[in-house]
Structure 1
Amino acid sequence: MNAVELFVGAGGLGMAVSQAGFKPQLVVDWDPWACDTIRQNKKAGLAPFTTWPLVQGDVRDVSFSNISKTIDLVTGGPPCQPFSMGGLHRAFLDERDMFPQAIRAVRELQPKAFVFENVKGLTRASFSSYLEYICLQLQYPSLTAKTKEPWHDHFLRLEDYKARGKIRGLQYKVAMRVLNAANYGVPQKRERILIVGFRSDMNVTWEYPIHTHSNDALLWSQWRSGEYWERHKVAKRHRPDDESGKARAQKLKAPPAETPWVTVRDAIADLPDPELHPLLAKAFPDHRFQPGARTYPGHTGSPLDEPAKTLKAGVHGVPGGENMLRRTDGTVRYFTVRESARLQTFPDEMIFHGSWSETMRQLGNAVPTKLAHVIVQRVHDRLKGTS
């Protein structure tokens, strides 16, 4: 099955698309640093980058008419700054809003399915009407806005079209949900909105996958069975003083059925601390100490024995708390590029192009590959009729 990946960035969602069995016919991004990251990995022979037909440029200038093969899936993460907590919150007034281009791709390529992701901020009350407008456009992509028609007028026409029930032409069944990556085995509490659609003639029934990991299971393994500390060989005197976690664990009557959340310690335990052991850290690519980390109210770092906080790209520079590790003794340091890549479930073999701050921007904008794979694999299986 063939796919088109828009706004690929560092490739978190794109890798999941290839891993699920789709063949990319077009991969697009405008950012030169992210494109250089893809090119470097392609040159190094790292799959799946070796087969990606990458186009660096503005998606608004991309013509889909040159694609001769039938496209089964369109995916992408339209730039999220208009909706993120760190952005200017301008939504449809923001020229960086690329959802119109995602909708254009669906309209022109008419794929069997699509998957678009974005920040949880898109679900805020101030954007609720615009989010509904996006979903209606994806549901009826052929009913386009008229020249100079305000978005809210187009929105009302779409609502009226749906209410009349006389639907003709291209139509999709659209579902939307906010998923926490930690609930699917990602060592990071990263909430993303996933919008999934299937062309109506496919007669596909879609349900989002149930979560496989839980905080309760982690608390049980830490404060009831003790398996977590034994596995990591952490003596009692070096364990965090987590009274609330202990209290919650004591209320659990039986071991939860889910797998424990994956923690920062789980993700980076085999990597030497680059500040405490810089010579040993040199043996690992992109694993160098970055000075300057400090704490202040609201920016206390990610605890070692929980999933990390959401890594951030930083519109006005790298923020303090989200991209820091907080050790059990209370000291902090910035995550290295390699550690951040692990928190986003990128492969260790992957090369990142650019300085630490530039690479952290790429990683902060990315979708965790493991979360993306859970969704895209399920879409693939639905299209194949295997699940």
Structure 2
Amino acid sequence: MAWDDEPTDLATEPLVASRIPSTHPLHQPWQLTATERERYRLMAQRSREQSRRAAAGELDRLHEVNVPALDTRDLMPREEPNGLRALSLYSGGGGLDVSFERAGFEHVASYEILEHAAETLARNRPEWEVHGGADGDVHGVKWKDWRGKVDVLHGGPPCQPFSNAGRQQGHLDPRDCWPATVKAIRAIQPIAFVAENVPALASAKFTDYVRDVIVEPLERSRPRYYMHRVLLEAKDFGVPQVRKRVAFVGFRSKKAYDAFRKPAPTHAWNDPDSDLPRTMGVREALGLAQMEEHPDRLAPTIRSGLTGPRFTTSICNSTSAAKSWAALGLWPNGVAVTREAASAFPTDTGAFRLSVADVALIQGFPPTWTWPSAVYQAVGQIGNAVPPPLGWAVAMAVTAALSAS
């Protein structure tokens, strides 16, 4: 059975509980039938055998090592220093940190509770002040110590409480860090802040939550903050992926708030009438030949999340996404550590195996940004990150608004 085959006659088949013990208290196992579970078991079994054979050099390469056509640094030109200092919360693998750095901000410090993500930041920027592990927990920081030292605070509070994959439990989810974010803003009193999340947070389901937890506390604070809420799509900034984010952008100054403009698209996807540069399809971006049977398209949204019963190197987040990856001739399961390793480990369907560097490119990270962690940790960091070109556009819009005020 091929990995993307559809199981048959499942409508009346009962669901069967997973026999794999969960290693994370917040993990919620998939609800699958016995047929579906057997399908995934066989897939994992076949993958282990292929991995063994690849390591032994028993397999022939199906693909040469790819040379990407897209250099994501071109999507976010490095600006001259703008004199503004930025503090990063929930830094993860560095999506917003990279964005603001390339937009000309001085990096003050990063706070990240996951030690392997903090290690990514420290390895890439040894000169940065990085607080990781227990020291990176935003709940234990005396934020007033940063007052007067920070111009812009940015970060992405964990999105699982509001995402479909996280079951959208909002304030009932212990990972909800918006109250801690608001507390940090009120204590530090930056002249501006950027806080991003999944688009669902801006939906009707969370209207009361946004009003009670985010908007009103900051509107009533001293100083008061005036906020914009903007919905952005990664493809509008040259990123070859379907991905939407919502950003809350706040200013202490009413003049800066009035001067702020939602970032205008820098690129256009599949629009021959646009004068903007063209967003590449994902195969073109990766430097792969086009497929005769399917036109190039954007990659599905890369799976974001590091919780689960076992370490996964898959970036596929749904059955529909699996179909899209298959139509692209790309293999989203079993991401390889390097492009060379991916080439040496062919898939049994002939699909192109992705590497960590390829996944980072699809998310918009610069090619010079490296990932020292295990593969499952690296792809988890990448999938949880803000696409840097999208973050860069927001950072540039904030700079423009502050300059106008």
Q: Distance in 2 between matches of 1:80 and 1:304?
A: 32
Which AA in structure 1 matches 2:372? H
Q: Distance in 1 between matches of 2:263 and 2:207?
A: 24
Counterpart position of 2:282:
264
Check the 8 A contact 1:75/1:115 in 2, yes or no.
yes
Counterpart position of 2:49:
none
Check the 8 A contact 2:241/2:299 in 1, yes or no.
yes
Which AA in structure 2 matches 1:66? D
With CA pairs under 8 Å and 6+ residues apart, which has the higher RCO, 1 or 2?
Answer: 2
1:54 to 104, 120, 130: 130
Counterpart position of 1:346:
365
2:171 to 83, 86, 92: 92
User: Aligned pair 1:184/2:202, yes or no?
Assistant: no
Q: Distance in 2 between matches of 1:100 and 1:381?
A: 28
Which AA in structure 1 matches 2:397? R
1:364 to 362, 375, 383: 383
Q: Distance in 2 between matches of 1:382 and 1:334?
A: 43
Q: Distance in 1 between matches of 2:295 and 2:286?
A: 9
User: Aligned pair 1:73/2:152, yes or no?
Assistant: yes
Q: What is the RMSD computed on CA atoms of the aligned residues?
A: 2.6
Q: Distance in 2 between matches of 1:34 and 1:329?
A: 30
Check the 8 A contact 2:261/2:401 in 1, yes or no.
no
Counterpart position of 2:299:
308
The one-character-per-residue Cα deviations of 1:29-78 (angstroms, maximum 9, x if unpaired) are 0001101111222xxxxxxx243211112110011233364321010000
Which AA in structure 1 matches 2:299? A
1:336 to 341, 352, 355: 355
Which AA in structure 1 matches 2:303? K
Q: Distance in 2 between matches of 1:334 and 1:123?
A: 35
TM-score by length of 2: 0.65
Counterpart position of 1:83:
162
For structure 2, the residue ranges without an aligned partner over 5 or more in a row are 1-83, 331-348
Aligned pair count?
287
The one-character-per-residue Cα deviations of 1:118-173 (angstroms, maximum 9, x if unpaired) are 0112133322221233442463252xxxxxxxxxxxxxxxxxxxxxxxxxx32111
Change in 2 beyond 3 A, CA 1:120/1:334: farther
Q: Distance in 2 between matches of 1:27 and 1:307?
A: 31
Counterpart position of 2:268:
214
The one-character-per-residue Cα deviations of 1:284-311 (angstroms, maximum 9, x if unpaired) are xxxxxxxxxxxxxxxxxxx771121111
Counterpart position of 1:63:
142
Q: Distance in 1 between matches of 2:256 and 2:328?
A: 52
Q: Percent identity?
A: 30
Counterpart position of 1:382:
401
Which AA in structure 2 matches 1:193? V
The one-character-per-residue Cα deviations of 1:238-263 (angstroms, maximum 9, x if unpaired) are xxxxxxxxxxxxxxxxx333332321
